[in-house]
Amino acid sequence: MQKITPCLWFDDKAEEAVNLYTSVFENSEITSVSRFGEADAAISGQPEGSVQLMTFTLEGQEFTALNGGPIYQFSPAISLQVTCRTQDEIDTVWGALSEGGEEEMCGWLRDRFGVSWQVMPESLGDLLGVPEPARTRVWERMLQMRKIDIAVLREAAEG
């Protein structure tokens, strides 16, 4: 068991979100589902029998998803960063997570549940580690992108 587990608070869409997330990432699974009983459904305002809490893994990382009602909303102040090896992987992950959501700048997006994600290439550190003025060119190109295009950043790094 890992020591720190992120908990994602949804209004009432935890099951839908977890099903999406576990379908996007390999080595992912739903590990448990708890449902509201009569007493906690009455207190929470959630329907009896609906999903209350789910535990799941994404690429081996444990998460919890809670249907806690509309009290709290997600913010980009905390995001989940996905490191992708290839452009095809970026395209696949970006497409699945951005569907019905909002594309943002520099590889960031908010999915249809409001969770913020950063979809980044594994090579980003190397691309941003080139000497000036190539480094500035990489940053300038990246700042113009929504979904990251590795080839464009490589071109900028190479001059």
CB 63 within 8 A of CB 6: yes
pLDDT over threshold 80, residue 1: no
Cβ-Cβ contacts under 8 Å for 36 (sequence gap 6 or more): 44, 46, 47, 48, 49, 50, 51, 52, 67
- How much of the chain, in percent, has pLDDT values that exceed 90? 92
- How much of the chain, in percent, has pLDDT values that exceed 70? 100
CB 44 within 8 A of CB 37: no
* Average pLDDT value over all residues in the chain: 96
Quickly state the pLDDT bin for 41 (edges 50, 70, 90).
confident
Strands (E), 4-111: 7-10, 29-35, 51-58, 61-67, 79-84, 102-103, 108-110
Which among 145, 40, 92 is positioned nearest to 153, based on CA atoms? Answer: 145
Read off the pLDDT of each residue in 86-103 and give the average, rounded to a whole number.
Answer: 98
Name the phi and psi angles at 49, rounded to 5: 90, -15
Quickly state the pLDDT bin for 83 (edges 50, 70, 90).
very high
pLDDT confidence of residue 159: 85
pLDDT confidence of residue 42: 83
pTM of the shown model: 0.93
Name the phi and psi angles at 20, rounded to 5: -65, -55
Question: CA–CA separation, 102 vs 43, rounded Å?
Answer: 33
Distances (CA, A) of 157 to 60, 121, 133, 150: 33, 14, 9, 10
Read off the pLDDT of each residue in 130-140 and give the average, rounded to a whole number.
Answer: 96
Instruction: Find tokens 């590795």 and name the residue.
Output: 150
